[in-house]
Amino acid sequence: MTNASAPTVPGANAALGMSTFAFTACFAVWTVFSIIGIKIKQDLGLTEAQFGLLAGTPILVGSLIRVPLGIWADQKGGRLVNLAVMLSAAAATWLLSYAQTYPQFLLAALGVGVAGGSFSVGVAYVSKFFGKGKQGTALGIFGAGNVGAAVTKFAAPFVMLAFGWQTVAQVWATALAVIALIYFFTTRDDPELVARRRTGAKATPALMQLEPLRRLQVWRFALYYFFCFGAFVALSLWLPHYLVAVYHLPLIAAGMLAAAYSIPGSLFRIFGGWLSDRIGARRVMYVTFGVSVVCTFLLSYPATTYIVDGIDGPITFRFAIGLVPFVILLFCLGFAMSLGKAAVYKHIPVYYPDTIGSVGGLVGMIGGLGGFVLPIAFGALNDLTHIWTSCFMLLFLLVAGALAWMHLAIRRMERARTPSLRDLPELPEMAGLQPNPQPLRAAAQPRAAE
């Protein structure tokens, strides 16, 4: 384990830079169905739910394999494991271009999803090059590889309209394979793996790495990431379709505007990591959830026409969020989520330094499952309610629940660590009305001595 105050070890900058570059390429491939899926939906006449399943299948696979890949990265070294992940995903993406039926597309999507497993590998690999005081910033920079979703949204529509969706799959596959080789030959093994080879020590067994997953705290972090990352991925997949259907935009324009959400949701993750190092991840999470509650509430309000019985007759007015306010709210939501994604992963190396791969893999898996479950839920809600903003209604309930659980858990921890807080009156002005005010004075004494 890297010491908190240790200087950056040799090769750290190359590991961070190339891992971020590789993760960007993997994320671009992982979300490729957000663009080519729209054309496939039209060609095959898919329902909303079928489209959601197709777009979400790579996310499911990339999520489920994060725990074993994270453990293997801790044991075998993230550099080698990431090379295998990227080459496997590149091969599957190339084969995607030959699919013709819906079952074939779903089968190809399973292989494409392997690209999503690169996240837990990168977290386990990069974190070993940096001390605790720099891990938040380093992992924030690495996590900015989420911008790969915006790369796909910017470039894929042009390639698809000019040459067809098959060319998109082939170009993306070729680029991923080339980047995989560049990544492998420009980085070195992490210092922990090098030290184990030198001393002959064995890696932590897989069963021991899974032990922390029994703790409720880990699953609470996973819920945070289910929203911050899972909802980010889900909206990255869903927004082009949403913008085309609700605001009647052409596909290229929809892809450009969807990037207004994807880009801040990725690049500001760097700032979120830096901020978590400076003011603490807990405060950053409060900002994330607070802003997200407001944004999702406003975005969830459907276009509505009101009729009021006025003095001189009915008065009609309409409330609807236009395209510009929608993009602004989306930008704010993406910014808040980017802070939260970095803050969640700031916790993991601090609380679980010896099992980063397994804990980070589980948290990433649950977050990734959000990217799979939510697009399907969005489509199902559309079919059920026939209200386009129902997707944001679901996200509002999700983030409000996460905020409530986080706050209650923090209050419970504070009271457990500071029993004297239980003796304080509910309101300060009630202190003189207490039958036995001694506990209040006793609780106040340490503060006066500070």
> How much is the pLDDT for 169?
93
More confident residue, 68 or 146: 68
Identity of residue 261: Y
- Consecutive H or E run containing 112: helix 102-112
Alpha-carbon distances of 429 from 312, 418, 432, 433, 444, rounded to whole Å: 52, 21, 7, 8, 15
Q: How confident is the model at residue 262 (pLDDT cuts 50, 70, 90)?
A: confident
Res 203: pLDDT: 64
Q: Strand, helix or coil at 319?
A: strand
What confidence tens digit (pLDDT) does each residue in 184-228 have?
999 988 888 888 778 877 766 656 666 666 777 788 888 898 998
What is the phi-psi region of residue 248: left when phi exceeds 0, alpha when psi lies from -120 to 50, beta otherwise? left
The yes-or-no verdict on residue 176 having pLDDT over 90 is: yes
pTM listed for this prediction: 0.68
176: Cβ contacts below 8 Å, ≥ 6 apart: 25, 26, 28, 29, 86, 89, 90, 93, 115
Give the chain's domains with CATH numbers. Answer: 12-197+216-420 (1.20.1250.20)
Q: What is the per-residue pLDDT for 434?
A: 53
CB 26 within 8 A of CB 143: no
SS3 call for 315: strand
pLDDT band at 20 (very low <50, low <70, confident <90, very high): very high
DSSP letters spanning 352-397: -TT-HHHHHHHHHHHHHHHHHHHHHHHHHHHHHH--TTHHHHHHHH
Phi, psi of 128 (to 5 degrees): -75, -10
- The answer to whether the CB of 189 falls within 8 A of the CB of 75 is no
pLDDT for 313-372, tens place per residue? 888 878 888 888 998 898 889 889 988 888 887 777 777 766 666 777 778 788 878 877
**Residue 352 backbone zone (phi > 0: left; psi -120 to 50: alpha; other: beta):** beta
Q: What is the pLDDT of residues 102-149, one digit of tens each?
A: 999 999 999 999 998 898 898 888 888 887 777 778 888 887 887 887
Q: How does residue 433 score in pLDDT terms, banded at 50, 70 and 90? A: low
Query: For residue 289, is pLDDT > 80?
Result: yes
Residues near 203 by beta carbon (within 8 Å), at least 6 away in sequence: 74, 75, 76, 196
How confident is residue 63, by pLDDT bands cut at 50, 70 and 90? confident
Nearest Cα neighbor of 96 from 86, 117, 85, 111 is: 111
